[in-house]
Structure 1
Amino acid sequence: MPSAALPPIEYRIRPAHPGAHLFEVSCTVRDPDPAGQVFRLPAWIPGSYMIREFARNIVSLRAEVDGQPWRVEKLDKHSWRAVPLRAGGTLSLHYEVYAWDLSVRAAHLDETHGFFNGTSVFLAVEGRTDRACLVDIERPEGAGYRDWKVATALPLARGVRGGARAYGFGVYRAADYDELIDHPVEMGTFTLGHFEAAGVTHDIVLTGRHDCDLGRLAEDLRRVCEWQIALFGAPPPMDYYAFLTMVVGDGYGGLEHRASTALLCSRADLPWKGMEGLPDGYKTFLGLCSHEYFHTWNVKRIKPAAFTPYDLTQENYTRLLWAFEGFTSYYDDLALVRSGVITPDDYLGLLGKTVSNVLKGNGRSKQSVAESSFDAWTKYYRQDENAPNAIVSYYAKGALVALALDLQLRAGSDGKKSLDDVMRLLWQRHGQTGQGVAETGLFEAVREVGGDTLGPKLARWLQKTVEGTDDLPLARLLKGFGIEYHAEPASKAPWLGVKLAAGNGEAKLANVFDGGPAQAAGLSAGDVLVALDGLKVGSKSLDEMLLRRRPGDAVKLHVFRRDELMSFSVVLAETPADKVSLKPAIKAGAVASKLRRGWLGSAA
């Protein structure tokens, strides 16, 4: 029998105890497996490559068959099974979920708002994940919640009793479990803004206190979204989109979904009425929105074969995150300049910071971006104090790989081909068909787009680059586009080779870098510097004290390691030239200027 003709899986979720951060959830199966129906909660959420064990937040669980108590047994850390039951009974599981994770990945509930990803709250029904799902989102009880609304890209359940209206509580529908968990939900007294892009309504949902100029934000996002839609070709693959944004004092994060994104931002990063120019914080927030929106195509629909379908019970390994996250990280800021939201000079400033961040980590000489992609589950998402010395970011270096590839495609074809053509090919061949990208698929796409002469050469270069650890020849490539590359020390002070932890003013070492003076002297991450040459030192005074020294000088450092006072003699060194700045060449030739305009837009 076609799954559409089978009874849907029915869910109900209610913010039962906002003060205790508890959602009450139920899952009802009209035709459960008589041999014993199994339920599972995902162990991770797509887009965030780490096993998170969401089932640990289920604090109680019970089962009923036709309203009567029924025994349910736990099989493993995230699976339950109702004991065998007679045919024809209706099985319901009722459970409470603790929701106090203020992030874009899980669930959060208090008296001010509620937020959840389906992976945190909706049990999957084994053998029935292809069924349609109905979910009744209920309002919290009490007069204080009378003004709450709902924001989600979940489709309304039209024609169903209790069906929700736009922004309302009630019943929503999903075609299957995969869709159900790909539409996060925000509820509360949020601020709502709108804009149209390529005929599609886009909502901006802001939860938390703010003074945002919604008109300015909507106009800037409209331009970015329209540019991305035009890149891949209209119409976009969704008929509605929502930017679900939690505004806090200090925060940053985003997670992509098929028709929405969950965002966390600092209120200072939002635009305000009368704001002049384009502050760095606002550029950062626009880049985050652009990044998650680009994922609508790249990773939500153009997927690695390893993700088609997802197995949410365990790690799903691929060596391609440098393309799916890295290429997205390249296009996020590029979309800002090509859409005219920021200037070419703004863009080059952002790009210089990305280059600098990659150069600061010695892990780039030990781990390739392909290895970083494969090891995301255990290394990138579980970074420790040695991370800068051991790993490379497939986001940041992946973006630079995309940059180098784009520049070579443009220069080698006299501007006729670019990475845009590769992305469009991937969209047509994989995004629109649902066929996953093989581990060699990016190399094949580049070979095809580049043509008989350029294609094989660039495909070989790309494979060698992503599987190796060499630095990218960015200075040479950018020169051909009339861009000057300058590298200099980030500080005039001599180099100690450490990074301090953010904190209460104490000079606690967060990282000790390979090959640096501190490591050579025996200092370790976690040490707290208390004196330099007999004078008290803190996080703010350390640089001032080092400015009075020169490379080659020996200084005596006193530190606390645990509760023991230790002293070290450190010979300071030259500060590495790892701060990169990029700017247009004053005298660029006609060919370079033409290529630069093709890359950054007519204003470049």
Structure 2
Amino acid sequence: MAHSAIHYTIRPAHPEAHLFEITLRIDEPASEGQTLSMAAWIPGSYMIRDFAKNVVRLSASSDGEPVAVEKLDKQTWQCAPCEGSLEVHYEVYCWDLSVRGAHLDPTHGYFNGTGVFLKADGHHHTPCSVDIRPPEDEAYGRWRVATTLPADGAAPYRFGRYRADSYAELVDNPVEMGKFDLIEFESRGKPHAMALTGRYRADTARLATDLQKICDYHIGLFGELPAERYLFLTMAVGDGYGGLEHRSCSSLMCKRDALPRHGMVEPDDAYRDFLGLCSHEYFHTWNVKRIRPKVFQEYDLSREVHTRLLWAFEGITSYYDELALVRAGLISPESYLELLGQMITRVMRVPGRHKQTVAESSFDAWTKLYKQDENAPNAIVSYYSKGALVALALDLTIRRETHGKRSLDDVMHALWNEYGRNDRGIDEREYEAFVEEVAGISLSGFFDKALRGTDDLPLAELLSSVGVGYHLRSAESDTDKGGKPPSPDASHPDLGIRLAPSTEEAKILFAFEGRSAMRAGLSAGDVVVAIDGIKTTRGNLDQLLSRYQGGDKLDVHAFRRDELMTFEVELQETPPDTCYLTLDDAEGETLQYRQHWLGGAG
């Protein structure tokens, strides 16, 4: 590696005050001054987060003498010219317990590089070193470090000196420090590990075995793991969920109850979801971190970078994350179809799917998907969930039209060989042409309808080609996620709302366009307190409505702000927007197609 001219030192100086202390030293003289900037967003998260707001103190010096610093805008500083090396000293407040920010307290420390490391302009491709130091208090003597930054003298999982070939590599390797547990395993000859932080009780041997199966499957699909090792950084909390991909690791957050229990035979819903999260972020090692849109090759972390291809990079990943679980033998085909039915349900319940295309959803991620308001379900569709259904439809279309000779698996493998391995970005229209070339069939009509249209996808027809029945029913309660057949006599009218989950009040989170509540004048933020004079809460709303039928009229009392209002609501029948899938009797070619689809063969 070339000589490092950029050196960082980072230390949790005041864990109780949530402050990391950082020094940036630039060896080259800055005779014309030096501009420094802080990233506004993190790769993989399409939202401006303005990390510079957390810088609470900043000063500069050269050869022991102060250097004047002027702030130019919300995330940029200008240091005055100096003839010696420039040292910048600053503190960053870190109290964002998520996979996208930085968090520090006396129990652990975690950071993404974009939130703590200033970038020296003009040195984006300069090799750099980082000295990760422990807190000075002896009480933290058992803390360790987990990161995929290459060591430059530091012992494995220890504080010390690490390196990166560029600023981009530096900020794409998050760091966890603390008294985490280490779960290690091998997949296809490559070392893997999970650093697990937080309070929990779990069968970690089972977790290691299941993760290995997931990793084995994904490496087998692409043919190789493009990293020397892989690390899952996982924080177990009481209530939380999320993941963020990096080049050779991922940051995960889960409920502690989502980890496997001793004696568990089949994965319960929570553990199944966690395995899906791990699978999703691991798949990103290929799809988005290396197979990526051309605009992501040299992105600017200070401003939005738009692409219409997120349906492919997040949607296809969302398709494969749970498909990998059944192909790896971790869940049954019936369990997978339940998950797929829930995915279809999420899309079917969003009126915005008829207003925004999945290509538009991709392009507008910065301003719509990641900045949702109370009208979001009526105006937008997610490129994650709708993109996953596009991937499903594309896969089944290719399988059907080529009589099982080609599939989306072939497309992903070819994308890796042509683009990922060669570090070539791909354009929007180029992507569609490449898929057609690999599949050997014309798909222009499919892409026009699926990506640039707002009609529902022909999933019933496509799923029947693999012997899977597609069924729609009405939702049975506010918590009905779909994926399962109807319960006897469970259907009843609803108000066409979703309630806020974090309160006992019946507070409206969303009111769906054209449904009973919105037509009567109820809106998001209203708190329903009575129906026909009966006290109403989040817990009894469904029970109260079960006494009514479609066409019935009722008086709804609700608070809007501090004003009590009365609304006359005419109930509509609950629409059939809840999907469940079944394994139908199949034989011959249909059975063969289903076996290849769910088994990953063919």
Shared fold (TM-score greater than 0.5)?
yes
Which residue number in structure 2 is paired with residue 410 of structure 1? Answer: 399
State the partner residue of 2:479: none
Moved more, 121-130 or 102-111: 121-130
Q: Classify the secondary structure of the residue corresponding to 1:440.
A: helix
**Cα distance, 1:58 vs. partner?**
0.3
Q: Is 1:59–2:56 an aligned residue pair?
A: yes
Partner of 1:167: 157
Give the structure-2-normalised TM-score.
Answer: 0.96
Structure 2 counterpart of 1:599, one-letter code: W
Contact 2:33 2:78 survives alignment (8 Å): yes
Find 1:106's aligned residue among 101, 107, 110: 101
Partner of 2:469: 484
The answer on 1:222 being equivalent to 2:212 is yes
Amino acid at match of 2:519: A
Q: Which amino acid aligns with 1:588?
A: A
SS of the equivalent of 2:208 reads helix
What is the correspondence of 1:49-128 to structure 2 with a 5 Å cutoff? 49-86=46-83, 89-128=84-123
SS at match of 2:416: helix
SS at match of 1:288: helix
Q: Is the 8 A contact 1:446 1:459 kept in 2?
A: no
Distance 1:330 1:35, change over 3 A: same
The answer to whether the 8 Å contact 2:181/2:195 transfers is yes
TM-superposition CA deviations, 1:124-164 (whole Å, max 9, x none): 1111111111000000111210000000011101xxxxx21
Shift of 1:561: 0.4
Counterpart of 1:170, as a letter, is G
Q: Deviations over 1:267-287 (max 9, x none)?
A: 000002112321000000000
- CA distance in 2 between partners of 1:149 and 1:237 (Å): 26
Q: Which residue of 2 aligns with 1:475?
A: 460
Distance 1:52 1:220, change over 3 A: same
> Using the alignment, how far apart are the partners of 1:394 and 1:489 within structure 2?
24
What SS does the corresponding residue of 1:581 show, helix, strand or coil? Answer: strand
Amino acid across the alignment from 1:333: E
CA, structure 1 residues 519+413, in 2 after alignment: closer, same or farther (shift >3 Å)? same
Contact 1:7 1:31 in 2 (8 A): no
What are the within-5 Å matches in structure 2 for residues 419-458 of structure 1? 419-451=408-440, 454=441, 456=442, 458=443
Structure 2 counterpart SS, 1:31: coil
Aligned-pair distance for 1:67? Answer: 2.0
Q: What is residue 348 of structure 1 aligned with on the other side?
A: 337
RMSD: 1.2
Residues 245-394 of structure 1 mapped to structure 2, 5 A cutoff? 245-394=234-383
2:203 paired residue number: 213
Task: Note if contact 2:38-2:51 (Cα within 8 Å) is conserved in structure 1.
Answer: yes
Residue identity matched to 1:536: K
> Which one of the candidate residues 136, 149, 158 is aligned to 1:154?
149
Match of 2:487 in 1: none
Residue 31 of structure 1 pairs with residue 28 of structure 2: yes
SS of the residue aligned with 2:339? helix
Equivalent in the alignment of 2:16:
19
Which residue identity does 1:391 align to in structure 2? I
2 CA distance for matches of 1:65 and 1:357? 57
Which deviations, in whole Å up to 9, do the C-alpha atoms of 1:361-393 show, x marking residues without a partner? 000000001000000000000011111101100
Q: Structure 1 residue 50: deviation in Å? A: 0.3
1:550 corresponding residue in structure 2: 549
Contact 1:443 1:463 in 2 (8 A): no
**For residues 293 and 545 of structure 2, what CA distance do their matches in structure 1 show?**
48
Structure-1 separation of matches of 2:506 and 2:237: 27
Q: One-letter code of the match for 1:510? A: L
**Secondary structure at 1:462's aligned position in 2?**
helix
Whether the 8 Å CA contact 2:11–2:20 is kept in 1: the answer is: yes
CA contact (8 A) 1:9 1:133 kept: yes
| 1:204 aligns to 2:194 (yes or no) | yes
Structure 1 spans left out of the alignment, 5+ residues = 158-162
Q: Deviations over 1:86-112 (max 9, x none)?
A: 3xx010100000000000001000000
Deviation at 1:6, TM superposition (A): 4.8
CA contact 1:21–1:108 (8 Å) conserved in 2: yes
Contact kept in structure 2, 1:443 and 1:460, CA below 8 Å: no
Measured in 1, the distance between the counterparts of 2:106 and 2:348 equals: 45
3-state SS, counterpart of residue 325 of structure 1: helix
1:540 aligns with 2:531: no
Distance 2:414 2:31 in 1: 47
Q: Note closer, same or farther for the CA distance 1:5–1:226 as it changes in structure 2 (3 Å cut).
A: closer
Alpha-carbon distance between aligned partners in 2 of 1:204 and 1:441, rounded to the nearest angstrom? 37
Question: Unmatched 5+ residue regions in structure 2?
Answer: 477-490
The 2-side partners of 1:337 and 1:518 are apart by 40
**SS across alignment from 1:582:** strand
Q: Does 1:400 align with 2:400?
A: no
Question: Do residues 577 (structure 1) and 554 (structure 2) align?
Answer: no
Structure 1 residue 533 displacement after superposition: 0.3
Offset at residue 430 of structure 1 (A): 1.2
The match for 1:160 is none
Q: Is the 8 A contact 2:243 2:252 kept in 1?
A: yes
User: Which shows bigger deviation, 9-18 or 410-419?
Assistant: 410-419
Q: Pick closer, same or farther for the CA change 1:133–1:603 going to 2, 3 Å.
A: closer
Distance, in Å, in 1 between the alignment partners of 2:311 and 2:349 is 19
Counterpart of 2:460, as a letter, is: A
What is the identity, as a one-letter code, of the residue corresponding to 1:48? S
Change (3 A) 1:469 1:93: same
For the 8 Å contact 1:132–1:173, the answer to whether it is kept is: yes
Write the distance in 2 (CA, Å) between the matches of 1:32 and 1:231: 49
Q: Which residue pairs with 1:601 in the alignment?
A: 599
The list of structure 1 runs, each at least 4 consecutive aligned residues, that deviate by more than 2 angstroms after superposition, is 4-8
Tell me, what secondary structure is at the counterpart of 2:57? strand
User: Are the equivalent residues in 2 in contact too, given 1:15–1:138 (CA < 8 A)?
Assistant: yes
Counterpart in the other structure of 2:481? none
Aligned to 2:587: 589
User: What amino acid is the match of 1:118?
Assistant: G
Deviation track 1:500-535 (CA, whole Å, cap 9, x = no partner) reads 111331100000001101111000100000110011
Q: Deviations over 1:447-477 (max 9, x none)?
A: 10121xx2x2x23312331011110000000
Tell me if structure 2 keeps the 8 A contact 1:344–1:603.
no
Equivalent position amino acid for 1:480 in 2: S
Shift of 1:7: 3.9
1:602 to 1:321, Cα distance in 2 relative to 1, 3 A: closer
The residue number in structure 1 matching 2:482 is none
TM-score by length of structure 1 reads 0.96
Q: Secondary structure of 1:115's match?
A: strand
Residues 602 and 95 (structure 1), Cα distance of their counterparts in 2 relative to 1, 3 Å cut = closer
**Aligned-partner Cα distance in 2 for 1:441–1:348:** 32
- Residue aligning to 2:488: none
- Write the distance in 2 (CA, Å) between the matches of 1:142 and 1:76: 36
Q: Which amino acid aligns with 2:493?
A: P
Query: Where does residue 513 of structure 2 map in the other structure?
Result: 514
Work out the CA distance in 2 between the residues paired with 1:19 and 1:233: 46
Query: Could you tell me which amino acid in structure 1 is paired with residue 64 of structure 2?
Result: G
Offset at residue 424 of structure 1 (A): 1.3
Q: Number of aligned residue pairs: give it.
A: 588
